Chains A and B, each alone.
Chain A
């Protein structure tokens, strides 16, 4: 592979990967939390006794943003990007970028859907039903965790291969 790919050097690709993971997952979390919170706020405006049951539902879509942040930090730590004078090969940089995509894209999608599921589950709490409303958004969380695990495993592999 040449010195650059699509006009960007290896380190720039690695930084782009870290940024994509943090940004996309963060955007998804912001949308998901807003979707859940706006409905939950409506419920609480009529019945504030349900705050304790509803707060976890509003907070749940925020985990994807945390996963994106973790991935971005891992990229910087694993490949010594915090050290300053770093020179990753283009091949390594593009590979790191690819490794970040599962958390970025799946974080975006699952956070939005988790927000919608949490909003629907808030209806269960609002109706005063005893069913565990937290279970359904938690099911969506599974796939964000899978994506995080895949990204971490790929980054570990790449660290062994390129930086080790």
Chain B
């Protein structure tokens, strides 16, 4: 009986999302591949980078961009068009919320840290969320829904301004965000989004453990306060790793999270954001299926997010005067 239901669902999804998936099949071919990224990184100047991108989908967004702020605005506009595609494709509202909610929580995290450290919010907020960024300038406890509750909980728990307190904010906000994302993924009925949520939890825990080891935070505190449940790697395993000496812990993390290329134990300082983004791109590639379904559209928008991040690093890095070698170290894997 379940076979018949699966076949019915596959046929129904093909009819419902066929048009959007057809567009995705073409748009995927316009994503930047590895060689295009290499050319961007090796370009002699920002003007040369713009020339490389001019014939692709980013050309119209970057046309008048000359300063880092204008590049950020252009990439935000490009990303906004990708999120607009989610609405256009007729995906369930929960999928759209899944994408937008992450920005709400990222803004909340930035606002909480800014208020604890005592810095301005200028340039820290990102658009694309469900809550206008102006709302984060007021009392954070008054933010709508779960955001206000999380802000109150986080502010009550944070007294210091040291590294571990900032990690505490990360932990409280991330815990609430992953619960919200899981809820949206389940409401959308998308096993792929549920898997992506579990991966995001794993990557959050990976960063927490590496940073806690570097900051010398007691294992007991990491285990009870900072790690988040809901990933594919069990908390007991992570708790065991946190108690190991740092080199062994890094090697154990590489094995447990199946990280490619020994990024933690190599000589160079690990860039956790690069490791996390590469793991996410690898998971997104698996979202592509031969038969049309919502997953194709979700995977494409996630790929566009990853691509925007890569472009941000390449373009802003070049503007900041970073050499090609430094940019290569910060490059993420491409979707194609």
Q: Is the CB of A39 within 8 A of B11?
A: no
Q: Is the CB of A42 within 8 A of B18?
A: yes
When distances are taken between beta carbons in the complex, the residues of chain B under 8 Å from A34 are: 15, 18
Complex Cα distance, B26 from A47, in Å, reads: 7
- For the complex, count residues of B whose C-beta is within 8 A of A: 19
Contact residues of B between 113 and 144, Cβ < 8 Å to A: none
When distances are taken between beta carbons in the complex, the residues of chain A under 8 Å from B21 are: 39, 42, 119
Complex Cα distance, B290 from A39, in Å, reads: 12
- For the complex, count residues of A whose C-beta is within 8 A of B: 24
When distances are taken between beta carbons in the complex, the residues of chain A under 8 Å from B19 are: 38-39, 41-42, 45
Q: Is the CB of B29 within 8 A of A35?
A: no
When distances are taken between beta carbons in the complex, the residues of chain B under 8 Å from A39 are: 14, 18-19, 21-22, 25, 292
When distances are taken between beta carbons in the complex, the residues of chain B under 8 Å from A46 are: 22-23, 26-27
When distances are taken between beta carbons in the complex, the residues of chain A under 8 Å from B25 are: 39, 42-43, 122-123, 126-127
Complex Cα distance, B18 from A44, in Å, reads: 12
Partner of B11, one of A31, A41, A44, A123: A31
Q: Is the CB of B14 within 8 A of A119?
A: yes
Q: Is the CB of B26 within 8 A of A126?
A: yes
- Verify if B10 is at the interface (C-beta below 8 Å from A): yes
Q: Is the CB of A41 within 8 A of B291?
A: no
Complex Cα distance, B26 from A128, in Å, reads: 9
Closest B residue to A45 by beta carbon equals B23
Complex Cα distance, B29 from A14, in Å, reads: 53
- Verify if A120 is at the interface (C-beta below 8 Å from B): yes
Q: Is the CB of B18 within 8 A of A38?
A: yes
- Verify if A155 is at the interface (C-beta below 8 Å from B): no
- Verify if B20 is at the interface (C-beta below 8 Å from A): yes
Complex Cα distance, B15 from A115, in Å, reads: 10
Complex Cα distance, B29 from A127, in Å, reads: 6
Nearest-neighbour CB distance to chain B for A138, whole angstroms, equals: 17
Q: Which A residues lie at the B interface, using CB under 8 A?
A: 31, 34-35, 37-47, 112, 115-116, 119-120, 122-123, 126-128
| Interface pairs A-B: 5 shortest CB-CB | A42-B22, A38-B18, A126-B25, A46-B26, A39-B18
5 further interface pairs, Cβ-Cβ under 8 Å (given A39-B18, A43-B22, A120-B292): A38-B15, A39-B19, A41-B22, A123-B25, A127-B29
